[in-house]
Amino acid sequence: MMIVEHYLNESRRVDSPNADARPLSEVSLVVLHSISLPPGQFGGDEVEALFTNRLDWDAHPFFQSIRGLRVSAHLLIRRDGSCVQFVPFDRRAWHAGRSRWQGRQTLNDFSIGIELEGDARPFTHAQYHCLVRVLKALEASYPGINACERVTHEQVAPLRKTDPGPSFDHRYLARLMAD
Residue 139 belongs to a domain with what CATH number? 3.40.80.10
Domain that holds residue 26: 3-178
Q: Which residues of the chain have pLDDT under 70?
A: 147-148
Q: What is the pLDDT of residues 77-122, one digit of tens each?
A: 999 999 999 999 999 999 999 999 999 999 999 999 999 999 989 9
| 149 close to 99: Cβ distance less than 8 angstroms | no
pLDDT at 161: 85
Q: What is the pTM of this model?
A: 0.95
Contact (CB, 8 A) for 127 and 173: no
Q: Which of the residues 46, 115, 149, 154 is marked catalytic? A: 115
115 is catalytic: yes
Q: How many domains does the chain have?
A: 1
Please report, in angstroms and rounded to a whole number, the separation of the first and last CA atoms in the chain.
Answer: 16
Q: How many CB atoms lie within 10 A of CB 89?
A: 21
- CA diameter of the chain: 46
In order of 45, 73, 160, the CA distances from 153 in angstroms are 22, 12, 9
